[in-house]
């Protein structure tokens, strides 16, 4: 597979940005943004879709940690 040219990259990034805005506006409800999801998948190479999806999850997690703080999960207690 050849690397996307400038116009193809721009189309992919634009589709990603539109999808992400829709998800932000709809509290990450994919059902509400299915048309934009389809456009995103049609305009981007599959590997890019996978990368951008993971990137969005990471950015959302990072935002949550920064706003709510980090609290470690309860683990097994050590018996003393």
Question: Residues 39, 22: contact at Cβ < 8 Å?
Answer: no
Residue 10 lies in a domain: no
State mean pLDDT over 35-63. 96
* Res 1: pLDDT: 63
Mean pLDDT rounded to a whole number for the chain: 92
Q: Is residue 11 part of a domain?
A: no
φ/ψ (deg, to 5) at 76:
-65, 140
Residue 80 has pLDDT above 70, yes or no: no
Residues 15 and 44: beta-carbon distance below 8 Å: yes
Question: Does residue 40 lie in a domain region?
Answer: yes
Q: Give the residue-averaged pLDDT of 41-66.
A: 96
pLDDT at 76: 76
Residue 4 lies in a domain: no
Domain hosting residue 33, numbered range: 18-66
pLDDT of res. 52: 98
∠ at Cα 46 (43, 50), nearest 5°? 110
- Whole-structure pTM value: 0.81
Please check whether residue 76 lies inside any domain of the structure.
Answer: no
């Amino acid at each position: 597979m050849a690397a996307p040219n400038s116009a193809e990259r721009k189309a992919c990034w634009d589709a990603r940005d539109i999808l992400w805005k829709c998800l932000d506006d709809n509290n990450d409800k994919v059902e509400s943004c299915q048309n934009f999801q389809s456009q995103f998948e049609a305009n981007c190479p599959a590997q890019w879709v996978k990368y951008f999806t993971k990137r969005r999850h990471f950015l959302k997690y990072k935002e949550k940690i920064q706003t709510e703080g980090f609290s470690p999960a309860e683990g097994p207690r050590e018996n003393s």
